[in-house]
Amino acid sequence: MPSHNPAFSRGFPAAGNGQYASWGAGPQQTYGGAPTQHDPYAAPSPYAAKSTTYLTMDDVVTKTGLTFLVTVLAAAATWTLVPDAVAAGLLFPALIVGLVLGLFISFKQVANPAATLAYAAVEGVLVGAISEFYAENFGGNLITQAVIGTFGVFFGMLVVYKTGAIRVTPKLTRWVVGALFGVLALVVVNLIAGFFVSGGLGLRDGGPVAIIFSLVVIGVAAFSLLLDFDMADEAIRRGAPAQFAWYIAFGLLVTVIWLYLEILRLLSYFRE
Protein backbone atom coordinates (compact mmCIF):
# COMPACT_ATOMS: atom_id res chain seq x y z
CA MET A 1 0.00 0.00 0.00
CA PRO A 2 1.63 3.26 -1.02
CA SER A 3 1.70 6.12 1.46
CA HIS A 4 1.58 9.90 1.24
CA ASN A 5 4.55 10.13 3.52
CA PRO A 6 7.98 10.47 1.88
CA ALA A 7 9.28 8.18 4.56
CA PHE A 8 7.01 5.40 3.28
CA SER A 9 6.78 6.14 -0.42
CA ARG A 10 9.59 4.03 -1.84
CA GLY A 11 9.05 0.55 -0.42
CA PHE A 12 10.78 -1.27 2.40
CA PRO A 13 14.50 -2.08 2.53
CA ALA A 14 15.35 -5.73 2.51
CA ALA A 15 17.23 -5.81 5.79
CA GLY A 16 17.76 -2.28 6.96
CA ASN A 17 20.86 -1.87 4.83
CA GLY A 18 19.37 0.40 2.19
CA GLN A 19 19.05 -2.42 -0.37
CA TYR A 20 15.75 -3.47 -1.88
CA ALA A 21 14.62 -7.04 -2.26
CA SER A 22 13.44 -8.11 -5.69
CA TRP A 23 10.14 -9.71 -6.64
CA GLY A 24 11.98 -12.75 -7.90
CA ALA A 25 14.44 -13.72 -10.54
CA GLY A 26 11.79 -14.09 -13.25
CA PRO A 27 11.73 -16.77 -15.97
CA GLN A 28 14.94 -18.76 -16.31
CA GLN A 29 16.31 -19.89 -19.68
CA THR A 30 16.91 -23.62 -19.94
CA TYR A 31 19.49 -25.37 -22.09
CA GLY A 32 16.71 -26.51 -24.39
CA GLY A 33 15.93 -22.91 -25.27
CA ALA A 34 12.46 -22.73 -23.65
CA PRO A 35 11.99 -20.58 -20.57
CA THR A 36 10.60 -22.23 -17.49
CA GLN A 37 7.28 -21.00 -16.17
CA HIS A 38 7.72 -18.22 -13.64
CA ASP A 39 5.54 -18.64 -10.57
CA PRO A 40 4.86 -15.15 -9.10
CA TYR A 41 3.52 -16.70 -5.89
CA ALA A 42 6.81 -18.47 -5.28
CA ALA A 43 8.80 -15.25 -5.56
CA PRO A 44 10.23 -13.79 -2.36
CA SER A 45 8.38 -10.85 -0.88
CA PRO A 46 10.05 -7.44 -1.22
CA TYR A 47 9.38 -7.00 2.48
CA ALA A 48 11.13 -10.20 3.52
CA ALA A 49 13.97 -9.79 5.98
CA LYS A 50 17.29 -11.55 5.52
CA SER A 51 17.78 -12.02 9.22
CA THR A 52 15.72 -13.94 11.76
CA THR A 53 14.69 -10.78 13.64
CA TYR A 54 11.39 -9.56 12.31
CA LEU A 55 9.50 -6.37 12.96
CA THR A 56 6.83 -6.50 15.67
CA MET A 57 4.32 -3.99 16.96
CA ASP A 58 6.36 -3.73 20.17
CA ASP A 59 9.33 -2.58 18.07
CA VAL A 60 7.22 0.10 16.39
CA VAL A 61 5.70 1.35 19.66
CA THR A 62 9.03 1.39 21.51
CA LYS A 63 11.04 3.13 18.79
CA THR A 64 8.28 5.63 18.04
CA GLY A 65 7.87 6.46 21.72
CA LEU A 66 11.62 7.01 22.12
CA THR A 67 11.73 9.19 19.01
CA PHE A 68 8.85 11.35 20.24
CA LEU A 69 10.47 11.61 23.69
CA VAL A 70 13.70 12.98 22.18
CA THR A 71 11.70 15.56 20.24
CA VAL A 72 9.74 16.66 23.31
CA LEU A 73 12.89 16.91 25.47
CA ALA A 74 14.74 18.94 22.81
CA ALA A 75 11.74 21.24 22.38
CA ALA A 76 11.39 21.74 26.15
CA ALA A 77 15.11 22.44 26.54
CA THR A 78 15.04 24.98 23.71
CA TRP A 79 12.02 26.73 25.15
CA THR A 80 13.09 26.82 28.81
CA LEU A 81 16.90 26.94 28.75
CA VAL A 82 17.77 28.89 25.62
CA PRO A 83 17.38 32.69 25.72
CA ASP A 84 14.72 34.15 23.45
CA ALA A 85 17.19 35.85 21.10
CA VAL A 86 19.25 32.68 20.75
CA ALA A 87 16.15 30.52 20.19
CA ALA A 88 15.03 32.86 17.41
CA GLY A 89 18.46 32.53 15.83
CA LEU A 90 18.21 28.73 15.95
CA LEU A 91 14.91 28.69 14.08
CA PHE A 92 16.20 29.00 10.53
CA PRO A 93 19.27 26.70 10.93
CA ALA A 94 17.07 24.01 12.54
CA LEU A 95 14.61 24.33 9.67
CA ILE A 96 17.31 23.85 7.03
CA VAL A 97 19.11 21.02 8.85
CA GLY A 98 15.83 19.24 9.54
CA LEU A 99 14.77 19.54 5.90
CA VAL A 100 18.08 18.22 4.56
CA LEU A 101 18.27 15.39 7.10
CA GLY A 102 14.63 14.46 6.51
CA LEU A 103 15.09 14.29 2.74
CA PHE A 104 18.26 12.23 3.20
CA ILE A 105 16.50 9.70 5.43
CA SER A 106 13.53 9.53 3.08
CA PHE A 107 15.35 9.08 -0.22
CA LYS A 108 18.16 6.90 1.13
CA GLN A 109 15.76 4.89 3.31
CA VAL A 110 18.07 5.12 6.30
CA ALA A 111 16.65 2.94 9.07
CA ASN A 112 18.90 3.30 12.09
CA PRO A 113 18.60 4.96 15.50
CA ALA A 114 21.34 7.55 14.90
CA ALA A 115 19.60 9.12 11.90
CA THR A 116 16.09 9.02 13.34
CA LEU A 117 17.06 10.36 16.77
CA ALA A 118 19.23 13.07 15.22
CA TYR A 119 16.26 14.19 13.14
CA ALA A 120 14.05 14.07 16.24
CA ALA A 121 16.49 16.30 18.16
CA VAL A 122 16.74 18.85 15.34
CA GLU A 123 12.96 18.95 14.95
CA GLY A 124 12.67 19.35 18.70
CA VAL A 125 14.80 22.49 18.52
CA LEU A 126 12.62 23.78 15.68
CA VAL A 127 9.38 23.02 17.50
CA GLY A 128 10.72 24.57 20.71
CA ALA A 129 11.74 27.79 18.98
CA ILE A 130 8.40 28.10 17.16
CA SER A 131 6.46 27.30 20.32
CA GLU A 132 8.36 29.97 22.22
CA PHE A 133 7.46 32.52 19.56
CA TYR A 134 3.77 31.66 19.73
CA ALA A 135 3.82 31.63 23.54
CA GLU A 136 5.27 35.13 23.66
CA ASN A 137 2.71 36.51 21.24
CA PHE A 138 -0.43 34.56 22.15
CA GLY A 139 0.14 33.16 25.64
CA GLY A 140 1.67 29.98 26.98
CA ASN A 141 -1.63 28.14 27.30
CA LEU A 142 -1.84 28.15 23.51
CA ILE A 143 1.01 25.61 23.45
CA THR A 144 -0.77 23.36 25.93
CA GLN A 145 -3.93 23.45 23.84
CA ALA A 146 -1.98 22.64 20.66
CA VAL A 147 -0.22 19.69 22.30
CA ILE A 148 -3.49 18.30 23.66
CA GLY A 149 -5.13 18.78 20.28
CA THR A 150 -2.28 17.06 18.44
CA PHE A 151 -2.19 13.95 20.58
CA GLY A 152 -5.98 13.93 20.70
CA VAL A 153 -6.08 13.71 16.91
CA PHE A 154 -3.26 11.14 16.91
CA PHE A 155 -4.92 8.75 19.34
CA GLY A 156 -8.36 9.42 17.87
CA MET A 157 -7.19 8.38 14.40
CA LEU A 158 -5.42 5.37 15.91
CA VAL A 159 -8.72 4.24 17.45
CA VAL A 160 -10.50 4.87 14.15
CA TYR A 161 -7.90 2.75 12.36
CA LYS A 162 -7.83 -0.10 14.85
CA THR A 163 -11.62 -0.37 15.04
CA GLY A 164 -11.91 -0.36 11.27
CA ALA A 165 -14.28 2.60 11.28
CA ILE A 166 -12.34 3.93 8.30
CA ARG A 167 -10.50 1.38 6.21
CA VAL A 168 -7.39 2.26 4.26
CA THR A 169 -8.18 1.36 0.67
CA PRO A 170 -6.39 2.24 -2.57
CA LYS A 171 -9.15 4.78 -3.28
CA LEU A 172 -8.69 6.45 0.11
CA THR A 173 -4.94 6.50 -0.41
CA ARG A 174 -5.34 8.25 -3.77
CA TRP A 175 -7.66 10.84 -2.25
CA VAL A 176 -5.29 11.60 0.64
CA VAL A 177 -2.23 11.81 -1.61
CA GLY A 178 -4.12 14.07 -4.02
CA ALA A 179 -5.24 16.31 -1.15
CA LEU A 180 -1.68 16.45 0.16
CA PHE A 181 -0.30 17.66 -3.16
CA GLY A 182 -3.20 20.09 -3.48
CA VAL A 183 -2.39 21.62 -0.10
CA LEU A 184 1.29 21.85 -1.00
CA ALA A 185 0.47 23.55 -4.31
CA LEU A 186 -1.80 26.10 -2.59
CA VAL A 187 0.86 26.91 0.00
CA VAL A 188 3.45 27.50 -2.71
CA VAL A 189 1.07 29.65 -4.78
CA ASN A 190 0.09 31.64 -1.69
CA LEU A 191 3.76 32.22 -0.89
CA ILE A 192 4.51 33.44 -4.40
CA ALA A 193 1.41 35.63 -4.48
CA GLY A 194 2.52 37.20 -1.21
CA PHE A 195 5.42 38.84 -3.02
CA PHE A 196 2.99 40.77 -5.20
CA VAL A 197 -0.17 41.13 -3.09
CA SER A 198 -0.31 41.71 0.65
CA GLY A 199 -1.47 38.47 2.28
CA GLY A 200 -1.23 36.49 -0.94
CA LEU A 201 -4.36 34.40 -1.43
CA GLY A 202 -5.40 34.96 2.16
CA LEU A 203 -4.53 31.42 3.23
CA ARG A 204 -2.33 32.52 6.13
CA ASP A 205 -3.62 35.96 7.14
CA GLY A 206 -5.86 34.78 9.99
CA GLY A 207 -9.14 35.56 8.21
CA PRO A 208 -12.08 33.23 7.48
CA VAL A 209 -10.35 31.76 4.41
CA ALA A 210 -7.22 31.06 6.46
CA ILE A 211 -9.26 29.33 9.17
CA ILE A 212 -10.99 27.10 6.63
CA PHE A 213 -7.69 26.30 4.95
CA SER A 214 -6.09 25.33 8.29
CA LEU A 215 -9.03 23.04 9.08
CA VAL A 216 -8.59 21.37 5.70
CA VAL A 217 -4.85 20.92 6.29
CA ILE A 218 -5.49 19.43 9.74
CA GLY A 219 -7.97 17.03 8.18
CA VAL A 220 -5.46 15.95 5.52
CA ALA A 221 -2.78 15.43 8.19
CA ALA A 222 -5.20 13.38 10.29
CA PHE A 223 -6.08 11.08 7.39
CA SER A 224 -2.38 10.84 6.57
CA LEU A 225 -1.92 9.19 9.95
CA LEU A 226 -4.25 6.40 8.83
CA LEU A 227 -1.97 5.69 5.89
CA ASP A 228 1.06 5.67 8.18
CA PHE A 229 -0.59 3.24 10.61
CA ASP A 230 -1.53 0.96 7.74
CA MET A 231 2.00 1.05 6.36
CA ALA A 232 3.37 -0.03 9.76
CA ASP A 233 0.93 -2.96 9.85
CA GLU A 234 1.87 -3.88 6.29
CA ALA A 235 5.56 -3.93 7.18
CA ILE A 236 4.86 -6.28 10.08
CA ARG A 237 2.71 -8.57 7.94
CA ARG A 238 5.39 -8.75 5.23
CA GLY A 239 8.19 -9.62 7.65
CA ALA A 240 10.27 -6.43 7.51
CA PRO A 241 13.43 -6.37 9.65
CA ALA A 242 13.13 -5.12 13.22
CA GLN A 243 15.43 -2.19 12.46
CA PHE A 244 12.79 -0.81 10.10
CA ALA A 245 10.88 0.39 13.18
CA TRP A 246 13.21 3.42 13.26
CA TYR A 247 12.10 4.32 9.75
CA ILE A 248 8.44 4.03 10.68
CA ALA A 249 9.06 6.22 13.74
CA PHE A 250 10.63 8.85 11.51
CA GLY A 251 7.63 8.87 9.18
CA LEU A 252 5.14 9.19 12.02
CA LEU A 253 7.15 12.02 13.56
CA VAL A 254 7.04 13.97 10.28
CA THR A 255 3.24 13.80 10.21
CA VAL A 256 2.77 14.58 13.91
CA ILE A 257 5.00 17.66 13.80
CA TRP A 258 3.14 18.90 10.72
CA LEU A 259 -0.16 18.36 12.55
CA TYR A 260 1.06 20.18 15.69
CA LEU A 261 2.29 23.24 13.81
CA GLU A 262 -0.97 23.53 11.87
CA ILE A 263 -3.09 23.24 15.03
CA LEU A 264 -0.86 25.86 16.66
CA ARG A 265 -1.43 28.19 13.73
CA LEU A 266 -5.19 27.64 13.78
CA LEU A 267 -5.43 28.40 17.50
CA SER A 268 -3.44 31.60 17.01
CA TYR A 269 -6.04 32.81 14.51
CA PHE A 270 -8.72 32.74 17.17
CA ARG A 271 -6.47 34.60 19.62
CA GLU A 272 -6.09 37.38 17.06
pLDDT one-digit tens code per residue, 169-196: 999 999 999 999 999 999 889 888 888 8
Average pLDDT, the chain: 81
Q: What sign does the dihedral 40-41-47-50 (CA atoms) show?
A: negative
pLDDT for the residue numbered 272: 66
CA distance 234 to 243: 15
Residue range 79-90: average pLDDT? 80
What's the chain's length in residues?
272
Lowest mean pLDDT among 37-51, 226-240, 243-257: 37-51
pLDDT for the residue numbered 16: 44
pLDDT for the residue numbered 44: 53
| Banded model confidence at residue 45, pLDDT cuts 50, 70, 90 | low
Q: Which of 146, 113, 223 is nearest to 177 (CA)?
A: 223
> Looking at per-residue confidence, does 22 or 105 come out higher?
105
Instruction: Give me the helices (H) in the chain, please.
Output: 57-81, 84-108, 113-138, 141-163, 170-193, 208-237, 245-271
pLDDT one-digit tens code per residue, 111-167: 889 999 999 999 999 999 999 889 888 877 899 999 999 999 999 999 999 998 989
The reported pTM is 0.78
> Looking at per-residue confidence, does 66 or 16 come out higher?
66
Residue 241: φ, ψ to 5° = -65, 155
Which of 13-17, 138-142, 262-266 has the largest mean confidence?
A: 262-266
